Chains A and B, each alone.
Chain A
Amino acid sequence: MMGDLLVHGLFMLYVIAFLMGMATIFTWVERKQSALMSDRIGANRAYIRIPFTQVKLVWMGLFHGLADGAKMLLKENFTPATYDRFCYHLAPWLVAVPVLVVFAVIPFGGALQPGHLFSAEWFPGLAAAFGDRSYPMQIASLDAGILFVLAISGIGILGTMLAGWSSNNKFSMLGAARAASQMISYEIAMGLALIAMVVTYGTLDLNQMVQWQQQGVWGIFVQPLAFLLFLTAAIAENKRVPFDLPECESELISGYFTEYTSMKMGLFLLSEFIEVVVISALVVTLFFGGYSVPWLTAGGFVFPGGGTWELPHLVVVVLQVLAFTVKVFIVGCFQIQVRWTLPRFRFDQLMDLGWKFLLPLAAANLVITAIVHWALL
């Protein structure tokens, strides 16, 4: 009982640290990557001085994210003259919490057997306490994983709408209206693309999807169209360039969070980057084999030629967690590359793309997938 609590508590700590850390790193990656793409240097001035010395740690501007966070926390907490007090203060949390909660069902590693992590001679207590018990490395191993993801990520729309409405500002209101129509439109295409994946894998559980890919091939080779549709719709859900119409600076100041200051605005910005991580994690889980490393099973590598390479359980676990992190990082970098490459859509183009292009394609993809599965299986 205590062991279960301990393991799950560690999982939660790891996931929160992973999300926050990756979000902070992605703010740095966004700065540096966009700088390199446009022949610039990028932020490189913030430093931490080691106390009592003149040693200044710059580390390629990695501390700009920290400086930003400190700035956000220390800024004046300004509120507009007239606003809806309850909704105004609730909205940032409604945006930030769901993106954190979504990660609960995403597996970030294979099965963990704490009793087998270290040899029983070194840690006899660990082996005795846990025995052969095995924990899937995810916070909540729900049977309805994908449905949970869709349901929770839909709550974020409420947050943006509340933020725009409660700040009593026409720019915020316009931004919120845009955000609502955009996110609801693209959620349909995203859902249809996901249902095609559910039909392919025959399960809603994300962990079983990863195991399906581990035994067979990665999802992107089975469903390349669904990958494109899902990635497009997910970036549109995240409201980043090329789909940043809800917060376009040139027309709507900052859209739905125009009237927010200090850490309340910081929550909006941070949740955007956490969502980059979550989208990357979803894409990796659905299409790039999740935590699975090619040919790596629970006992070690089993190569198709017949060779095997047995590895201890600890190494396997670390390899899987590392593989997941690296894949998430690469997909996140790809998202940032897209964000700094493409120009913004016009709103009618956005709606056209969502309703006349992505939705029919996703529906056709689903129908074809269903027919193929019905015919072959």
Chain B
Amino acid sequence: MNKPLSNPKLTRPKPRKQYWNEPTLGWYEKAFIFEIVRGLMITGGVFFSNMGKWLTGRKGALTAYYPEEVRADYSPNNRGRHVLTTRPNGEVQCVACNLCATICPAYCIEIVAAPNRAEPAHPKSPLRFEIDYARCIFCGFCVEACPEDAIRMAKEVPELPGFDRDAMWGKVDMLKGWQPARDPLKSYPVAAPATPPKAQP
């Protein structure tokens, strides 16, 4: 038969350690009114200081007006709007290989290739390069997939707000505008003198 447990250590467990304070209210807190006045002083102080800022022409809020203002605290690594890098002559570097469109998980890049006979070194260039910003998830895969460093992502967000989803297409003209020649971090390689392909005998 089991012996009755006589050891007090076994019958009565040690009191558990208590990690909180009992919520005790003194008469001061129970009267409500003093604490309410204290709370009103805090919120009123914030209100009047912000009101003073607004009245003296400063902004009494931490909010940035979204489309009108650009937040100053975007990280330099932020994956924002896409940029198509350009050669010194103003043409886009893209060779329309479709790697970015293939890897894009949102299927939002659309490229139509066209031959570019004027430049024998890069005989293929995009006729259309469009990004559907209504679908883009800003994952940055296109930037990593590009073999030509033709697409990058700037830290600013695209100018999206609008009333029409169909207007949220990033066309080439909107995407252009990053000249690696002017980028000190990743400058455009100095081009070797172009050698025309040898004519077949």
Contact = CB atoms under 8 A, between A and B. Distances in A.
Interface of A: 33, 35-41, 228, 337-338, 340-342, 353, 357
Interface of B is mostly: helix
Contacts of A353: 32
Interface of A is mostly: helix
Interface of B: 32-33, 36, 39-40, 42-44, 46-47, 50-51, 54, 60-63, 65
Contacts of A338: 36, 40
A36 B51 contact: yes
Contacts of A341: 36, 39-40, 42-43
Contacts of B65: 41
Contacts of A342: 36, 39
Contacts of B33: 228
A228 B34 CA distance: 12
B61 A35 contact: yes
Contact of B47 (A41, A228, A337): A337
A337 B47 CA distance: 9
B44 A337 contact: yes
B42 to A, nearest CB: 8
A36 B40 contact: no
Given A228-B33, A342-B36, A37 B43 contact: yes
Given A338-B40, A342-B39, A37 B46 contact: yes
A35 B43 CA distance: 11
B39 A36 contact: no
A340 B43 contact: yes
B63 A41 contact: yes
30 contacts: A33-B47, A36-B46, A36-B47, A36-B50, A36-B51, A36-B60, A37-B43, A37-B46, A37-B50, A38-B46, A39-B46, A39-B50, A39-B60, A39-B61, A39-B63, A40-B62, A41-B63, A41-B65, A337-B43, A337-B47, A338-B36, A338-B40, A340-B43, A341-B36, A341-B39, A341-B40, A341-B42, A341-B43, A342-B39, A357-B32
Nearest to B46: A37
